[in-house]
Every structure is written in structure tokens, then in C-alpha cells.
């Protein structure tokens, strides 16, 4: 079951990059020449004179997108661990709750969840004076907390499912050995179960993080100014259809490549016995 799930995630998420070796085969050189010609045409025939004016805002947008990505991944992972754990070992009400949460979040589009939180809760909160007077109110009037909440919930649900498989996949003999050494339940969890599960989940974590990066532009629909929103703004101001979008695709390609390379670096740092 677990191996099956991991292959699904691998197939739907980008985890591999073409290796640098073998780039110098003749047909690749020809293809690269064609690609270079296309890039040259794009630079030469399309309009890029707006780029310097908006470079600062674009950089800001990239930073906002990355902040969204990092904060929601970290927060989401913190929630994912208990969600995965109770599905493996918890009492049945918690198990049911976690399973229901995962099913509901994974069964509905993220865009809908985002709009439900932003428009739904955002229209509900002002009706309660207690919330209006609380110290949270200045934040609740902004858009980004709703974006962070929606992305965190989504990441927690998807990664919780992965963690469930990872927790269940740790060989029971290792846990029994730890118990036989007289470790307490908490110590077994902290020293054996969690590290082994995280280790098993690491390859899929890279794919999930790329998927999360790809869902960050959705927050632009609730007025968070990320790089997607900046590009939409540029498109409105300059009446250009393709150039800003192509630049945006290029930015996301670079970000994804960077993420994949970073994860590969860290994965290589962790010693694994190849089975």
C-alpha cells in the first residue's frame, strides 16, 4: 500500500531533473541550438522594455511567494505529523476525525477552500463584536492570514496522508526493539518512530513541496500581492498578453528547479542503505 502511494506521488510531482551528463550528444546540441534560437526570437521580437520599471516589484512578489511557501510548508508539516500519527495508532474518534479531515480537504479544490475562508469567514467575523475588539482583528482584516491558513490546511491534509503511510511503514520490529530497551512510549516516538517515518517520507516531501509552490499563486485571487499578482498587474498596465506570462513561467521554472536541487542535496546528505 505504502509503496503504491509513493509511486503515485512520484509520478504526479516533479522530483527528477535531467542529469547534467550526456548533454553533449549531437542531437541535444542541435535541440539546444533550436531552443537558443527560440529564446533569441522571444527576446528580440517581443517587448521587454517594461522589465526595469517593474523589477523591484517582481522581486518583492517572489519573496512573498517564497514566504508563503516556506511558512505554510513548515506549519503544515507540524500539523501533518499528529494527523498521520493518530490515523495509525490513535483512538477511533481521533482516527475518524483525521481521516474525515483528509478526505474533505483532499476532495475539494484548494481555490474553493481559499474563497470559503476569505469570503466566508471574512464576512462572518465582523458580525461578532468579540472578534472585532480582539487583538487579532488588525490581522484578520488583511488577506494573507486566510491565504496562509488555506495553504497550511491543504498541505497538512496531503502531507498527513503521506505521514500516515510513513508511520505505518516503519518496521514493527524496530519499535519493539526500542520498547524492549525499556524506552517510554514518548521516547520511542521521539527517537525511533518519528525520525524513521520522516526519513521514509523525505522523497515524497520534495514532490509535495513542489506541488505546494505550484498552488501558491492561488492566493493572488484573494488580493495577496505575490509574484503572480504582480504579473497580472503588469499585464493590466502594459496591455501585453504573453511577455509577462512567459516571464512568470520562467520564474516558476527556476524556483522549482532550485527546490528540486536543494532537496536532492539534502537527500544525498542522509545516508541510506539502498534496498
Partner 1 sequence: MAADPASLIDWGLLALDPPGWGGVLLAGLMNSIKIAIGGYSLGLVLGTGGAFGKLYGGPVTKDLMEVYTTVVRAVPELVLILLLYYAGTDLLNRLASAAGYGAVDISGLAAGIFVIGVVQGAYATEVIRGAIRAVPSGQIEAARAFGMSPLLILRRVTLPAMLPHALPGLSNLWLISTKDTALLAVVGFSELTLVTRQAAGTTKAYMLFFCAAGVLYLALTLISNLIIRVIEARARRGWVATR
Q: Which residues bind partner 1 (CB under 8 A)?
A: 4-5, 7-8, 11-14, 17-18, 25, 27-28, 31, 103-104, 106-113, 115-116, 119-124, 127-129, 210, 213-218, 221, 228, 241-242, 245-246, 248-249, 252-253, 256-257
Q: Smallest gap, in angstroms, from Cβ of residue 88 to partner 1?
A: 21
Residue with cell 503511510: 165
Q: Smallest gap, in angstroms, from Cβ of residue 12 to partner 1?
A: 5
Residue 84 or 217: which CB sits closer to partner 1? 217
Nearest to 147 by CA among 205, 78, 221, 247: 221
Q: How many CA atoms lie within 13 A of 48 on its CB side?
A: 11
Q: Smallest gap, in angstroms, from Cβ of residue 218 to partner 1?
A: 6
Residue 147 or 217: which CB sits closer to partner 1? 217
Residue 125 carries which DSSP code? G
Residue 76 or 192: which CB sits closer to partner 1? 76
Residue 61 or 217: which CB sits closer to partner 1? 217
Q: Smallest gap, in angstroms, from Cβ of residue 6 to partner 1?
A: 11
- Residues 6+ positions from 234 with CB-CB distance below 8 Å: 50, 54, 240, 244
Q: Smallest gap, in angstroms, from Cβ of residue 213 to partner 1?
A: 8
Number of Cβ within 10 Å of residue 187's Cβ equals: 14
Helix spans in 125-193 (H):
129-133, 137-140, 144-169, 172-180, 185-188
Residue 60 or 256: which CB sits closer to partner 1? 256
Q: Smallest gap, in angstroms, from Cβ of residue 2 to partner 1?
A: 12
Residue 88 or 105: which CB sits closer to partner 1? 105
DSSP 201-266: HHHHHHHHHHHHHHHGGGGGGGT---HHHHHHHHHHHH--SSHHHHHHHHHHHHHHHHHHHHHHHH
Amino acid at each position: 500500500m505504502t509503496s503504491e502511494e509513493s509511486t503515485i506521488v512520484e509520478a504526479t510531482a516533479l522530483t527528477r531533473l535531467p542529469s547534467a551528463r550526456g548533454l553533449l550528444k549531437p542531437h541535444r546540441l542541435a535541440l539546444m541550438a533550436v531552443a537558443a534560437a527560440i529564446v533569441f526570437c522571444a527576446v528580440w521580437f517581443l517587448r521587454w522594455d517594461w522589465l526595469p520599471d517593474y523589477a523591484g516589484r517582481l522581486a518583492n512578489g517572489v519573496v512573498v511567494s517564497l514566504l508563503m511557501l516556506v511558512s505554510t510548508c513548515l506549519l503544515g508539516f507540524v500539523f501533518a505529523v499528529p494527523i498521520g500519527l493518530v490515523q495509525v495508532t490513535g483512538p477511533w474518534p481521533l482516527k475518524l476525525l483525521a481521516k474525515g479531515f483528509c478526505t474533505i480537504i483532499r476532495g475539494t479544490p484548494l481555490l474553493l477552500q481559499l474563497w470559503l475562508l476569505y469570503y466566508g469567514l471574512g464576512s462572518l467575523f465582523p458580525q461578532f463584536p468579540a472578534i472585532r475588539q480582539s487583538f487579532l482583528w488588525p490581522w484578520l482584516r488583511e488577506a494573507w492570514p486566510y491565504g496562509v491558513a488555506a495553504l497550511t490546511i491543504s498541505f497538512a491534509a496531503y502531507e498527513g496522508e503521506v505521514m500516515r503511510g510513513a508511520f505505518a511503514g516503519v518496521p514493527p520490529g524496530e519499535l519493539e526493539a526500542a520498547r524492549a530497551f525499556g524506552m517510554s512510549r514518548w521516547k520511542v516516538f521521539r527517537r525511533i518512530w518519528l525520525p524513521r517515518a520522516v526519513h521514509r517520507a523525505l522523497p515524497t516531501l520534495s514532490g509535495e513541496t513542489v506541488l505546494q509552490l505550484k498552488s501558491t499563486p492561488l492566493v493572488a485571487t484573494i488580493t495577496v500581492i505575490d509574484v503572480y499578482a504582480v504579473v497580472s498587474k503588469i499585464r493590466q498596465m502594459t496591455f501585453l498578453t504573453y511577455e509577462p506570462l512567459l516571464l512568470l513561467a520562467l520564474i516558476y521554472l527556476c524556483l522549482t528547479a532550485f527546490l528540486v536541487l536543494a532537496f536532492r542535496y539534502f537527500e544525498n546528505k542522509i545516508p541510506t542503505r539502498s534496498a
